[in-house]
Amino acid sequence: MSRTVHVAYAVEQDEDGVWCTHAQLRPGVGANGEGDTADAAVADLREALLGLIAEFGAPDELTLTLDVI
């Protein structure tokens, strides 16, 4: 059985032009991503979230979808 997790995230560009993303998986457990483009930063965040979910499991309060964040 597969599950999908929908996780809200923020994207912003820092003063050096690097795109940064952040998502909170559960209280005290968040992930960050960065890249040269917004899409690259989101892809980096997705990989970080997949690692957190593999290590800690998906929070029960979230619905599960990882195909699009």
- The more confidently predicted of residues 4 and 45 is 45
The phi, psi pair for 32, rounded to 5°, reads -130, 155
Element spanning 32, H or E:
strand 29-35
Domain range for 11 is 1-69
Can you give the pTM of this predicted structure? 0.78
pLDDT in tens, 41-67: 999 999 999 898 888 877 776 654 545
Question: What is the C-alpha separation between 37 and 18, in angstroms, rounded?
Answer: 7
State residue 11's pLDDT score.
Answer: 97
Core vs surface per residue 21-40: b (16+ CB within 10 A) or e: bbbebeeeeebebebeeeee
Number of domains in the chain: 1
CATH of the domain at 48: 3.30.160.20
Confidence of residue 2 (pLDDT cuts 50, 70, 90): low
Tokens standing for residue 44: 């980096």
pLDDT in tens, 23-39: 998 888 899 999 999 99
- The more confidently predicted of residues 68 and 29 is 29
